[in-house]
């Protein structure tokens, strides 16, 4: 079978396919209840089940992997896939390395964070995306997991339709309003500047500075009050979009090297305090990665809290901006769709959803 995307939707074997999915986290449910949950999902009209695959859950100790339930029945990922097949559902997986999902350490192994504290980002509760040690362990995680998923792809007769590449890259920087200024990131920053300017002299002219080489350049800190300072800030912001693209490109290449052929996607955060006002900035995080990998599908995290006349138009604007970033060649869809609300004082009714 062949699963593809066009500008107006998803297609299965050339026929329009409405991807109606729901989350079932096998690692949070006793194994004996997996079939029950899958049947209820199907009875609700869904045709696909989506799940994270937590790195920390399956590599419970360094180099010790369990995907068959040998140490805990809820680690039987392969058994869960068989249960999905038995219920006649399709599958979408999100193997990280970050998963968030209200999971401890966002799915990163605690042993990794303890034994390699140097990978932690400077001033942020996250790790440095492109730290060489982090990349080394991501590669080991992919080496263990991805070969197990290959035979279950839709192109090989399995249920697997799509795979998410990491999760909401740039989220922590956005929420904290700050950047990772670890040396690894600064090294990438200097590389970015050397690619952006033909010479240090050209950059000095733009910055009204007197640097001897790109490695001397520090990120801006003070608000811009001159054209030169504005250019410096613009470069710093552009760098982050380039840096996120470097990280996602590396992940995509690693995934493809393991013969994963399914549609890859990445999800965009942006709703906050019931409005999507910050989505225009967040969507721009991914313009560079789409330029490099136009086959990557962007999905909207649609979490408006309390849907009403004050924010419904935000959704339309967000949809059109995501469509534009993808050149109008991909469907607009929700990678995450709110059900209910996390605000205890807000009553959400079915007809609002």
CA 28/CA 190 separation, integer angstroms: 43
Helix axes 227-257, 183-196, angle to 10 degrees: 110
Ramachandran angles phi, psi of 129, nearest 5°: -50, -45
Distance, CA of 74 to chain centre: 24
User: CA-CA distance, 38 to 313, in Å (whole number)?
Assistant: 34
Q: Which token pair is 313?
A: 């138009």
Q: Which are the catalytic amino acids?
A: 168, 336
Q: Supply 300's token pair.
A: 């909207």
Q: Is 20 left (phi over 0), alpha (psi -120 to 50) or beta?
A: beta
Contact 189, 217 (CB under 8 A): yes
Dihedral, 228, 233, 234, 235 alpha carbons, nearest 10? 90
Question: Distance between CA atoms of 143 and 282, rounded to whole angstroms?
Answer: 31
CA distances from 47 to 53, 88, 89, 99, 340 (A): 20, 8, 5, 23, 21
DSSP, res 7: T
Residue 86's nearest CA partner among 39, 16, 22, 45 is 39
Phi-psi region of 218 (alpha: psi -120 to 50; beta: other; left: phi over 0): beta
Residues 6 or more apart from 149 whose CB is under 8 A from it?
Answer: 93, 160, 163, 260
């Amino acid at each position: 079978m062949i699963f593809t995307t066009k500008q107006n939707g998803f297609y299965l074997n050339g026929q329009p396919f409405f991807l109606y999915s729901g989350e079932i986290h096998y690692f949070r449910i006793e194994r004996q209840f997996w079939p029950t949950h899958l049947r209820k999902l199907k009875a609700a009209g869904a045709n696909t089940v989506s799940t994270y695959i937590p790195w920390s859950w399956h590599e419970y100790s360094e180099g010790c992997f369990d995907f068959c339930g040998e140490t805990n029945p809820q680690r039987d990922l392969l058994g869960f896939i068989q249960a999905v097949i038995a219920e006649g559902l399709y599958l979408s997986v999100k193997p990280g390395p970050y998963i968030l999902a209200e999971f401890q350490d966002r799915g990163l192994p605690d042993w990794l964070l303890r034994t390699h504290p140097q990978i932690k980002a400077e001033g942020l509760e996250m790790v440095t995306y492109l730290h060489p040690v982090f990349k080394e362990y991501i590669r080991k995680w992919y080496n263990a997991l991805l070969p197990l998923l290959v035979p279950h792809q839709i192109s090989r007769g399995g249920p697997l339709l799509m795979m998410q590449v990491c999760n909401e890259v740039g989220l922590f920087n956005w929420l904290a309003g700050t950047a990772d200024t670890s040396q690894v990131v600064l090294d990438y920053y200097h590389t970015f500047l050397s690619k952006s300017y033909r010479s240090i002299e050209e950059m000095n002219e733009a910055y009204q500075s007197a640097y001897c080489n790109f490695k001397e350049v520090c990120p801006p800190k003070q608000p811009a009050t001159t054209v030169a300072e504005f250019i410096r800030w613009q470069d710093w912001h552009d760098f982050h979009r380039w840096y996120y693209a470097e990280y996602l490109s590396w992940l995509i290449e690693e995934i493809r090297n393991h013969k994963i052929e399914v549609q890859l996607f990445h999800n965009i955060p942006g709703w906050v305090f019931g409005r999507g006002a910050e989505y225009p900035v967040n969507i721009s995080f991914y313009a560079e990665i789409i330029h490099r990998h136009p086959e990557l599908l962007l999905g909207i995290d649609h979490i408006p809290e309390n849907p009403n006349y004050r924010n419904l138009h935000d959704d339309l604007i967000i949809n059109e901006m995501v469509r534009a970033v993808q050149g109008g060649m991909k469907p607009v869809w929700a990678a995450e769709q709110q059900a209910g609300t996390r605000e205890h004082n807000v009553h959400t009714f079915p007809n609002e959803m």
